[in-house]
Amino acid sequence: MIRNIIFLVLGIMLGIRLTDFIGYLKLWRNNDLRASEKAALLKYPVASEEHLATWLRREVRILCLVLTMPSSHATKAALVNRTWGARCNKLIFMSSQTDSNLNILQINKSESRKNLYAKVRTGMAYVHKHYLNEYDWFLKADDDTYIVMENLRLFLYPYDPESSVYFGCRFKAYFSQGYMSGGGGYVLSRDALRRLNLFALNSTTICKLNGESEDVQIGHCLQDVGVIAGDTRDFQGHHRFLPVNPFTVFPTILSNSWLEGYFFHKPNKSDCCAASAISFHYVKDFEFELFEFFLYYMRVFGLHRTPRALPSRLGFRQMNERLQHWSQQVTDNKN
């Protein structure tokens, strides 16, 4: 009798363990399948660049903050709203007045250049409070900036949004790491936005309203709270973020122009811009539609384009090594 009971108990225990083992195998197989599907998505020829770009929109979530004013709502802001802004994961305009046709954060400041920093501070505080954990990166741009969002997501994909870094067109300044051009657009990681709001904007000694331009002050604030200015050039040293209209830098950057002396990294004047360019500034109204046509509509028959796979994501150690490298960069532009 006792022996039968022992065998029964052992049988039940063995059955439970066997069931758990079978469940584990199913879970392992499902996880393996999901990993295989993801790997297949990220490799050619299974996934086209169009599929990868769609996947990146979900994987690299970008909230866009755009400076505008009431007089530009129906023109520049409307153009941003229906062109590159529509490709943001979320688009918010910063203006002193609301508009039923635009998603506007109303900021009670008069529309003048001296108030741009205060407007951006308010916008950064708002998205930190309401959207910090919903998005990975936070882009600030002007309403005459054009952003190629697909190239921005491709560039950002390897980097961890929980690293203290921000990107843009890096300019020289009186403080060591310089700052990112406001007109060319700059993008903060989630942790950079967190540090800016928790440690800088709430401080009585950091981020004071000192009359300097918006981008200089934000850059100084970020440096003071340990946010690293990243390098956005491609492997040939070509700039991806351009703080000017493309027609002013093609075919070459003019000698003795204001731009030549501002770059943190000395530009190649005869070949200034990366094929994976991300932003341009001082874009005229008609040029928004022009860029849309040539970038997203027109195709050249027979033109061969080499397929590109996504870059590898950097691990914790690799990311820290990259941040350390960027933090030690010094300007090579002596103009």
Q: Which helix (H) or strand (E) segment is 104 a member of?
A: strand 104-106
Residue ranges covered by each domain of the chain: 57-297
Neighbours of 51 (CB within 10 A): 12
Which CATH topology does 57-297 take? Spore Coat Polysaccharide Biosynthesis Protein SpsA; Chain A (3.90.550)
Q: In the prediction, which pLDDT does 29 show? A: 47
Q: Give the whole-angstrom CA distance, residue 25 versus residue 151.
A: 40
Q: Is 241:205 a contact under the CB 8 Å cutoff?
A: no
Instruction: Tell me the pLDDT tens digit for each residue of 217-248.
Output: 999 999 999 999 999 998 888 889 999 988 88
Encode burial over 20-42: b for 16+ CB neighbours within 10 A, e otherwise: eeeeeeeeeeeeeeeeeeeeeee
Q: Is 295:147 a contact under the CB 8 Å cutoff?
A: no
Identify how many contiguous H helices and E strands the chain contains and give both numbers: 10, 11
DSSP state of 187: E
Q: Is 147:185 a contact under the CB 8 Å cutoff?
A: yes
Q: Which helix (H) or strand (E) segment is 81 a member of?
A: helix 78-82
User: Can you list the residues of the chain whose pLDDT is less than 70?
Assistant: 1-47, 209, 251-256, 269-271, 304-307
Q: In the prediction, which pLDDT does 31 show? A: 44
Give the distance from CA 128 to its chain's centroid.
15
Q: In the prediction, which pLDDT does 334 show? A: 75
Q: In the prediction, which pLDDT does 25 show? A: 44
Provide the pairing of β-strand 137-142 with 146-147.
unpaired
Instruction: State the number of CA atoms in the 13 A half-sphere of 20 facing the CB.
Output: 6
Q: Is 93:105 a contact under the CB 8 Å cutoff?
A: yes
Q: Is the pTM value of this prediction over 0.85?
A: no
Q: Is 136:62 a contact under the CB 8 Å cutoff?
A: yes
Q: Give the whole-angstrom CA distance, residue 82 versus residue 146.
A: 12
